[in-house]
A and B are shown apart, each in its own frame.
Chain A
């Protein structure tokens, strides 16, 4: 990282308005800014009037109509009956009014889009009415921005009084004040700019340059049930705005967060189109597997982000510590992600168009043996079998081997045909007669499976607002083909956010967001699926079958190959029909009522509906045994549906008031959320023909699935919060929530979740204000409690489950019921206590901002399906089983390295988290899970640690002594029973002189030492370039898929990692690299650290180059073209899979042939007009 910390910073550059400032300015202060600019527009409107001897009242009415504006004046001050004449032909309204009013001693100013008339004070002083004839001092001046442009609408007032005015369209102002106030100070207030105070001190003319307000001061963040100025936040909240989302192509909301926020880790575990990303906020605070944060979209909780169109998002705020998340009580302990969608901004409609087209390719291939290497490998292996069996030389020819076998064969046995030779393949090391002939052909399964895949995205929206209505309507179409053949995803989404102002007091809004996402393609991740098969099938097929090998009319490469009944992974991926369609309708109805000034009521009804259906069909002709089946007989068709809806009622009352130095904001609220879902599942096998997937009771022979299920749960909550600030300097926030959940028994249903936090804005202190180099600086301390109730619906009760049995001479199925789970009336909330100590620091006028947080999260009463004594008749029950600690450190640094002519800024974040299980019930007994029990929960170690034998090398002959028959079988060092030279050497962890199940150790875990991300953004003239680099250091990934293609199975029919040919132990003379054991190892079924690989990596995640077209500025507000590349480059040492992020199996801690990540190159444009 290269911070530019040259002290010779030119202050002029600092004050320059940057693009990011502008965008933020629009985002956060849009309404006000837009209103003044609109009013400005009114004054600049050209009008034509022709009035002679008309009353001022009528003249103004005429102008109101013509210019579409409104005049406000008091009849007691303004003599509206006076006759006026004016002639203007297409003149600026400002000029017209100047003539019409100013000359008549009437001043006008813009206020709230209306033109307010008043008596011109300068005139007052000289009029005959003259009550204050002598007293007033007239001050004049001009307010400009740092470029010298006049700022209209700046509020100018005398400190501590109500005397004031506003600057006019050119930034000029005139203000007359009583003489006794002339020793006071003048305040210049303008939204988006820093307030300035200037002592009047006898001066009468002022030239004031306002500085644009520093971003951090004006920035507003979304907090639970409201918003707050970032500068007053006392919890720990990370924020991402539309800026970061819009500028590069993003398919999923979570993708925008990756590498961007300290403490928020996002992993793309699978490259599968439409798949979910794994998001963790400050480590996992739950063992139950659901450590994902709570997502709230516009106030309504949502289970999953897949239906949300990233371009609809205005901002994403992540509540990281419990003091901010505790307001979400029961569900806040894994952090809360608040998503705000776009609203219209006052002004004429803004049309936006953004589109990109991209092409994706696999980031890399896995280094398995090539076609030729596989034959070399087989020959090497067969030669060894020959040598071992006959004690003859490996150089004995195939013909001689066959002759030798023939000489020993029982009478009548002939070894001639390929099938006959196959029977002596292993006994005499016989090669496949097909090798080197045209009977078989080469194929690279990874090449067959992976492809260049197009991605297209189109987004259209229109947004705007008038006094009465605020609207934003958008539609998006996203279409992605997967880089694995047969897979794809598309999403069509609409969103309408409309808010109507019914009166000064009542606003009603409605959001409607339907979306439909369609995923196609069969499962490619995981055991026995296409990726795993693609890696473990050798690169040979029978000539002519190509990638259709195994499907009708081809059979698979048999004998020396995997067997006739196998099917090509390509066929598996392409012809297994699968379609998941996910329809979602997210709606929210919102009412805000202003009861009195500062007191607002808000009512929200949120309704989310989801209909997810999955259809799969596997025809007979692609089954390996198609040749022995009649068409349709092996076909399988299945449809699963989930229908769910959730309904949220929410009412909040908010009061805020400033009294002198005290500012207070009080919130109370209540919510109720109900959730219902119904699922159905039907499956059939055995169809009359292979024509269709459609089935009914008359078409099909075997019912595989036929079930209907339903469940429901509900949660009720009461909550309140007080935020208090003294002198805008000392901040306090306290909140409390009570949640009642149907998931727990009547006595433990309700939980309380308090939080308190304090902040001290050091930079507001007088001593700090004198420090030139110090800008926004704040200390924050917080504590809070949040919970987690994400378990099934009725686990506190003992339920009966069906378990049928057969009786009777005719084998009739009898219904049976068993007690399926143990009642746990004591089941209660999982709670997380979180302590946070934070520092926000701004240096050099916020050119460098830094936000650092130290935290400690202690989760207690973890909910887990925990082991119980088997003597109860149960093996597990949902229980509150233990405690877990997460400690860590988040650091976010943003710097502006150059301002002009190149603007270069850097944003860097680093997340350090240490996770440890501190206690488990049942005397801290381990809990094991996963394939081969390779994942362990053990006190003192991070969750989901790996439990493996520690491989320390390869056993050699000198580790053994020879037995009587000359074999090296008598070990000198501890071995696993039966091991021989060439087997993996294990560490005798318990020192008992032998290796067995008791030597399994906690060998590592997936959690990194730290994760980091850095974005560099450079703007030069119309160009912009951003580079996101991100990575992790430390942590291991268990390649459990190695069980298939990275293990000494002794079965050479399949394909393996290249290392088994080149780096493995073959003999004492050819011992390999000392790490990879012999493929003929005697003991091969243990799980050891040979499959544990470093999961550290460094990735250039994204590079985007953009260009703002200047020529079109007249027609368009903005038009930007960009080129972007995702997953540009990866440095890592994870070898047996596609990505070190691919922890998809076994509690998301191991990899089994995960879908490769894509390197995507896209070209896009975004335009506003």
Chain B
């Protein structure tokens, strides 16, 4: 008896009563676990969300769309990415890698602790999100460990880097499973949850990636075309008529297929992306006409390519104003300061900045409410068009490219689109959305390196970066990961 009570005294379960073994026991909990997988794309308990780390700092920031106006801040990681000085010690790279595997882990747990046949919708969502995470790992890091159930460290460190085809096979399987077990689109209270259209769209994008560098899978364009053609009607139904409306709060989850959901005023559920549009004072409000005064900026002085600005201005591209500002006043206009306030000239991406200086609900620089689209209408249109062109059906592609161009206010093409047209539209369409860098890589090593080098040569004379080489087509495997194991080769030349 005494011994028994002794044992009890030191056998203490956490008071929250929330160990993973006890979870996943009913629909509500499984749903909450599914929400948790999505939530890894948000702020994830840190200062920055996935869109900021991945699509902006590691992708857009390395592309030929933006350059550094100056080094104003000791954020080495950001500088290193932009200047192609990236090492495997980069904190941003490590956090991207970690976050993608966190998503995989949450999905694996849900799939492991539930049975096939029950909670199918959440299992499908888990498979979609797992596939999504693997698709980003594959295109950014190359081969990595393929893990499909909860794993302990001692087992994980023995796993090799699985070849890309193996990883893609899992992605395709997961996405097909998701597509088969989800409704097309979810709306109302479920808006923002993925549906089968999103699963197919991602599958199509995955095929397009497989078709390009480095896998160059010749059969993939045809698979992409088939996949897209199956959803093109549904996507057309969601096509946003006005480009400038795509990113506004009022139209969230109307036009896009899969986006990271943000809200301001809650606890760590806002977007950090607008916090990186340019560097300014670390205190006070740098854009008094745009944002409420608790705002401060982070990061480097990242500015938009002036050639791109010129070209878009010249063609009166409607996407320009919706994506970019060329400067801002340093004070709110009052009766007395009309002559003294100054206009600061800086070409900055403001696509995701909620310009409302009375919005006190936005609590901080990383508490912005606008969603970030990972797949939206134009992704499907332009990738479908690209697949058609690659499959020799350029004339069929015209319809989709034209719709994009007409929405942008630059008119339909005179002839069937070429790859050059696709490349141009993608560049302008997705400014600030982090597509450009992956496109360049997909379109081939030589093209990627020469395009990026030309850009870097032009701008880096001011910021003293290196020129990109083949190694920059992948991110390095984080050193912290290599430190835990001795069976992985680092990516080329890192």
Contact = CB atoms under 8 A, between A and B. Distances in A.
Contact of B74 (A807, A867, A1084): A1084
A996 B84 CA distance: 12
B209 interface: no
Contacts of B361: 702
Given A823-B20, A867-B484, A870-B480, A808 B191 contact: yes
Interface string B461-494: 0011110000000000010110111100000000
A1083 B464 CA distance: 9
Contact of A809 (B14, B97, B188, B363): B188
B39 A742 contact: no
B38 interface: yes
B484 A925 contact: yes
Contacts of A1082: 464
Given A629-B293, A712-B15, A822-B152, A870 B478 contact: yes
A704 B144 CA distance: 39
B342 interface: yes
A437 interface: no
Interface string B95-127: 001100110111011000000000000000000
Interface stretch (A361-369, A562-570, A1143-1151): A562-570
A803 B42 CA distance: 9
Contacts of A962: none
Given A807-B190, A818-B39, A871-B145, A977 B83 contact: yes
Nearest to A744: B10
A978 B463 contact: yes
B20 A716 contact: no
Interface in A1056-1093: 1082-1086
Contacts of B89: 933, 997
Contacts of A869: 145, 153, 156-157, 481, 484-485
A997 B76 CA distance: 10
Interface string B123-167: 000000000000000000000110100111100110100000000
A925 B483 contact: yes
B85 A420 contact: no
A130 B314 CA distance: 140
Contacts of B94: 870
B9 interface: yes
A793 B14 contact: yes
Contacts of B252: 809, 811
A710 B16 CA distance: 8
A1082 B83 CA distance: 14
B192 interface: yes
B484 A817 contact: no
Contacts of B39: 803-805, 816, 818
Nearest to B363: A702
Interface in A670-704: 672, 674, 685-686, 701-704
B12 A712 contact: yes
Nearest to B144: A871
A502 B253 CA distance: 80
A393 interface: no
A877 B106 CA distance: 16
A711 B15 CA distance: 6
Interface in A706-761: 710-716, 740-742, 746, 749
Contacts of A812: 189
B418 interface: no
Contacts of A998: 87
Interface string B271-285: 000000000010111
Contacts of A874: 102, 105, 153
Contacts of B269: 804-806, 813
B261 A811 contact: yes
Contacts of B73: 1085
A565 B286 CA distance: 10
Nearest to B97: A870
A741 B98 contact: no
A281 B269 CA distance: 45
Contacts of B464: 977-978, 1082-1083
Interface residues of A, number: 92
B266 interface: yes
A564 B485 CA distance: 51
B106 A819 contact: yes
A752 B361 CA distance: 56
Given A793-B14, A872-B153, A803 B36 contact: yes
A1133 interface: no
A155 B319 CA distance: 107
Nearest to B269: A806
Given A804-B269, A933-B89, A1085-B79, A811 B369 contact: yes
B240 interface: no
Contacts of B98: 870, 875
Contacts of B145: 869, 871
Contact of A624 (B13, B16, B79, B283): B283
A837 to B, nearest CB: 36
Interface stretch (B27-35, B196-204, B217-225, B443-451): B27-35
A714 B8 CA distance: 10
A704 B361 CA distance: 12
Interface string A884-913: 000000000000000000000000000000
A800 B85 contact: no
Contact of B153 (A741, A822, A1083): A822
B187 interface: yes
B191 A809 contact: yes
Contacts of B267: 703, 804
A170 interface: no
A797 B14 contact: yes
B428 interface: no
Interface in A794-833: 794, 797-801, 803-819, 822-823
B263 interface: yes
Interface in A909-953: 922-923, 925-926, 932-933
Interface string A353-375: 00000000000000000000000
A438 interface: no
A978 B106 contact: no
A996 B87 contact: yes
A472 B284 CA distance: 58
Contacts of B342: 419-420, 422-423
A625 interface: yes
Nearest to A920: B483
Nearest to B268: A804
Contacts of B97: 870
A865 to B, nearest CB: 13
B109 A872 contact: no
A194 to B, nearest CB: 49
Contacts of A39: none
Given A716-B6, A808-B190, A868 B35 contact: no
A1049 B282 CA distance: 13
Given A746-B11, A822-B153, A997-B89, A807 B193 contact: yes
B392 interface: no
Given A563-B284, A868-B153, A807 B360 contact: no
Contacts of A207: none
A741 B483 contact: no
A793 B12 CA distance: 8
B188 to A, nearest CB: 6
Contact of A808 (B6, B71, B188): B188
Interface in B276-313: 281, 283-285, 288, 293-294
5 contacts: A801-B18, A869-B484, A870-B94, A875-B480, A1086-B76
Per CB-CB distance, the 4 closest pairs between chain A and chain B, nearest first, are: A873-B105, A978-B464, A565-B284, A925-B483
Interface of A: 417, 419-420, 422-423, 563-566, 624-625, 628-629, 633-634, 672, 674, 685-686, 701-704, 710-716, 740-742, 746, 749, 793-794, 797-801, 803-819, 822-823, 867-875, 877, 922-923, 925-926, 932-933, 977-978, 996-998, 1043, 1047, 1049-1051, 1082-1086
